[in-house]
Structure 1
């Protein structure tokens, strides 16, 4: 059985306050895009995990796919286990939620493969144990996200028909580095209201709190954003804690051999 964990972008990202538990309360709009990894699982008598494609740093025991299996293990019939193969395409540490998607999709895939019968709401709770962005990928639809990134409200936002370009310059920005660059503050305007405005108005009203301080440290982020606007983007922004920058276009842009040294995704929304 195979599935294709997809990335997401943040449309706006406000860091509202630091919590007593050390996390931060945020608000953002999460929107799924079609930049995907490939994840396959088959039934076996022993557990095995391997990956190809982009090299994944660190111990495989800390991989969210392995953790997802361990969370579901008690629901899997005795004497069976999955062999899992991940082909990694989505850049890591890029603000795209690729690792979170892999973990969440693994929960869904194993639940279906082994007929575990775990309901959607319980899968979301398990996904929250994996990480803050993970529950989003269970339903995998546009939402307004708040709290520490695990609470959602449905929103009416449909960007289909537009064209997306994502550019990842390969700058790995850790969560600690990103949060260390900002001072939390409550936003002056309501993000759920701002996204109802025409896309052409987003440029002057919807921002990512991480973008300005990180662009000062890594000017390439701003250069890419300006380059996307020069190509005709209606809206462009850094996503998540960086360093990927995306542009939303009305029609397919001619990239004119730009960004060739970077990882680039382009396609319809």
Structure 2
């Protein structure tokens, strides 16, 4: 179910920053600038961080929550606020607090989602009136995953993940496991064993194939480099087709019924931290703002 986020302080927006899964991830080539061409299916979840935004009239942007190992200037939530502030009247400021639930570097898009929630939330709070297209363009400068969270729809994506077509996916219940390891995205994409030339397919063919045919081209490399990820995938595969999201470290499997998902998550303790989340096609962020 979608979690409700109350607004405890007058003028404060407390908004969800939802997670995503890459239901499939194909690497179809490498561009001259070094980035990889991708095809992926983004599935939004009701599992989320919470972002609190309190307006200030002194023009200051204050980050009230630090992330271990992440300098304030590298925090995507603060960077998003600074980027949007350039479009705001003088004096527009905010205090920003992120209550983290999503693991850093887990492949769930937490940092990108935090940035998108700040862009969408401050646009509303400061009454800037920017469109989702404008906000998504701003967000792309922060990271390729930011636009899908700004637009707030599960989507088929191409390019570096930025060319988006909304889709409706089955809103299954997901068991998501974080095996407790850190996966280097650069390390995965730099591995000589990575599959980089999967033949492109069109969206209709991908959707017609369904979850039983979907795969992540990064999985073989991540399995080899990180045995705990392989163990978590093998555990979930006993019950349903299991997949890696992004470059990991999180893995997932879909189930039609919540009780089954909860039972499998509760028994997953030796494989890492497990959550049960509901898939959704419309972002909880936009639901919270009535959009």
- Is it true that 1:146 corresponds to 2:158 in the alignment? yes
SS at match of 1:243: coil
- Is it true that 1:30 corresponds to 2:42 in the alignment? yes
Tell me how many residue pairs correspond in the alignment: 259
TM-score normalised to structure 1 length: 0.90
- Is it true that 1:228 corresponds to 2:236 in the alignment? yes
Q: Which residue does 2:124 correspond to in 1? A: 112
Range moving further from structure 2, 206-215 or 70-79: 70-79
Superposed displacement of residue 193, structure 1: 1.3
Q: Which residue does 1:172 correspond to in 2? A: 182
Range moving further from structure 2, 163-172 or 75-84: 75-84
- Is it true that 1:265 corresponds to 2:279 in the alignment? no
Superposed displacement of residue 188, structure 1: 6.5
SS at match of 1:6: strand
Q: For residues 15 and 246 of structure 1, do their structure 2 counterparts lie closer, same or farther at Cα, with a shift above 3 Å needed? A: same
Q: After the TM superposition, which segments of 4 or more aligned residues of structure 1 sit over 3 Å from their partners?
A: 188-192
Q: For residues 198 and 136 of structure 1, do their structure 2 counterparts lie closer, same or farther at Cα, with a shift above 3 Å needed? A: closer
Q: Is the 8 A contact 2:18 2:49 kept in 1?
A: yes
Q: Unpaired segments of 5 or more residues in structure 1?
A: none
Q: For residues 99 and 56 of structure 1, do their structure 2 counterparts lie closer, same or farther at Cα, with a shift above 3 Å needed? A: farther
Range moving further from structure 2, 16-25 or 74-83: 74-83
Superposed displacement of residue 242, structure 1: 0.7
Q: Unpaired segments of 5 or more residues in structure 2?
A: 1-12, 280-291
Residue 250 of structure 1 is aligned with which of 229, 251, 256?
A: 256
Superposed displacement of residue 62, structure 1: 1.0
Give distance in 2, aligned partners of 1:198 and 1:152: 19
Q: RMSD of aligned C-alpha atoms?
A: 1.7
TM-score normalised to structure 2 length: 0.84
Residues 36-59 of structure 1, C-alpha deviations (whole Å, 9 max, x = no match): 00001111123210226xx44221
Residues 44-95 of structure 1, C-alpha deviations (whole Å, 9 max, x = no match): 123210226xx44221111111111111112323223101111111001111
Q: Which residue does 2:246 correspond to in 1? A: 240
